[in-house]
A = this chain, B = another copy of it.
Amino acid sequence: MFVAESVTIAVDVMGGDLGPAVVLGGVSQALQADPDLHVVLVGAAEAVEPFAASHDRARAQATTEVIEMAEHPANAVRTKKDSSIVVGCRLVKEGAAQGFFSAGSTGACLAAATLVVGRVKGVKRPALGQVLPAYARPCLLIDVGANADCKPEYLVQFAQMGAVYMESIMGVENPRVGLLNIGAEDTKGDEFAQRAHGLLADSVPQFAGNCEGGNLMAGDFDVVVCDGFTGNVCLKTIEGTAKTLFKYVKDALMGSLASKLGALLVKGDLSALKAKLSPETYGGTPLLGVKGAVIVGHGSSNEVAIANGIAVAATTVRANVAGVIAETVARTAAAKAASGEGEAAASDAR
């Protein structure tokens, strides 16, 4: 039986488009759902202190600065040392919390997580994963924007980190890993994809071949890896296509008297579908490859989404995702070194 262990998550109360009251509402739900969860609320004193005073398992960490969504992430992290994002990450670094959740600037969270919390040993580039509501089963797309410029070898670690996350957090056994590419055959793709394909086939046992754009939402893979530029374009294209299609469906349902009547009857189920496909369902985007657990929520997160994001951060800590990633990366490095030595020995013997 799984016994939930006590875990402390730092929460950025200043993050999110809907303001501190909504974040605190989410914190409240998360605390209620998980009796072994503790939180450190990071943000303006007047927002965090009254809440902490009235909740046993909440502690306040007052800060004086806020990183705005439009700021240059790395610059903001360097200059705003007393911002909720930087302080939240520092709490993880110092061990006062094991994880951090923010619905603020993704770029700033990424910069702070890398600069303040620090990378897992052996990880070249932390990456952002996004769980997509693919048909029948969820699919983690990684990287969706942490690394615009990638080398093919980064994708091996993206695959490993993504597989660990889907196993530990989403409960997927032996996740099927795909490479986002422009054809199903092994030889397809640009130079980058062709090199990545070779490396994935060599080092990632769960690698199951290329995933075309059309298969991303079909539920054919559990993890799909790509560079952060393509991943970000793809993720936003999916969100934008869904938004446009729902607009078209709405227009179509106003197209005739019959469909207007029908629309009244199907409204409830379509709203439920919209909610199911919305970004909050999976409780935020994990930043994989940094120590501890850093989860970034959508800016538009409501209370439920905030609560889900905090819960995912707690599960990520309890499942020791960062530790399993460290072991996986170290094992691959060791295997590579051994095969390198083997090859060197073989070539000496010739």
Q: Residues of A at under 8 Å CB distance from B?
A: 134-135, 145, 148-149, 180-182, 189-193, 212-218, 226-230, 232-245, 247-249, 251-253, 255-256, 258-259, 261-266, 268-270, 272-273, 276-277
Q: How far is the CA of A268 from the CA of B263 in the complex (A)?
A: 12
Q: Is the CB of A262 within 8 A of B255?
A: no
Of listed A191, A234, A256, residue having the most chain B CB within 10 A = A234
In contact, A237 and B258 (Cβ under 8 angstroms): no
Candidates B189, B190, B213, B266; contact of A236 at CB < 8 Å: B213
Known: A233-B230, A263-B262. A269 touches B256 (CB 8 A): yes
* Distance (whole angstroms) from the CB of A219 to the closest CB of chain B: 8
Residues of B within 8 A of A248 (CB): 135, 273, 276-277
Q: CA of A145 to CA of B193 in the docked complex: distance in angstroms?
A: 14
29 contacts between A and B (CB under 8 A): A134-B244, A135-B244, A135-B247, A148-B182, A148-B189, A148-B193, A182-B233, A190-B229, A212-B236, A213-B236, A217-B240, A218-B240, A218-B243, A218-B244, A226-B233, A237-B241, A241-B241, A245-B277, A248-B276, A248-B277, A249-B270, A251-B273, A252-B266, A252-B269, A252-B270, A255-B269, A259-B265, A262-B265, A262-B266
The listed residue (B182, B215, B240, B269) touching A145 by CB distance below 8 A is B182
Q: Which residues of B lie under 8 Å from residue A217 when comparing CB positions?
A: 237, 240-241, 243-245
> CB < 8 Å: which of B189, B227, B265 contacts A258?
B265
B266 lies within 8 A of A180 (CB)? no
B240 adjacent to A242 (CB under 8 Å): no
Most buried by B among A145, A190, A216: A190
CB neighbours of A232 from chain B (8 A): 182, 213
Residue contact A240 to B266, C-beta cutoff 8 Å: no
Closest to A257 in B: B265
Within the complex, what minimum Cβ distance (angstroms) separates A194 from chain B?
9
Closest-CB distance, A181 to chain B (whole angstroms):
8
- Contacts A217-B244, A245-B245; is A256 near B268 (CB within 8 Å)? yes
- Chain B residues within 8 Å of A234, by CB: 213, 233-234, 237
Complex-state Cα separation, A253 to B262, whole angstroms: 10
Contact assessment for A259 and B249 in the assembled complex, using a CB-CB cutoff below 8 Å: no
| Cβ–Cβ contact A249 & B273, under 8 A | yes
Closest B residue to A183 using CB positions: B232
Instruction: Name the B residues within 8 Å of A249 (CB-CB).
Output: 249, 270, 273
Nearest B-chain residue to A241, judged by Cβ: B241
Residue pair B240, A149 in contact (C-beta under 8 Å):
no
Residue of B nearest to A258 (CB): B265
- In this complex, what residue of B is CB-closest to A219? B244
**A239 to B252, Cβ gap below 8 A?**
no
Give chain B nearest CB distance to A311 CB in angstroms: 25
Is A149's CB under 8 angstroms from B191's CB?
A: yes
Q: How far is the CB of A6 from chain B (nearest CB, A)?
A: 39
- Alpha-carbon gap, A238 to B212, bound state (A): 11
Cβ of A180 and Cβ of B261 under 8 Å apart? no
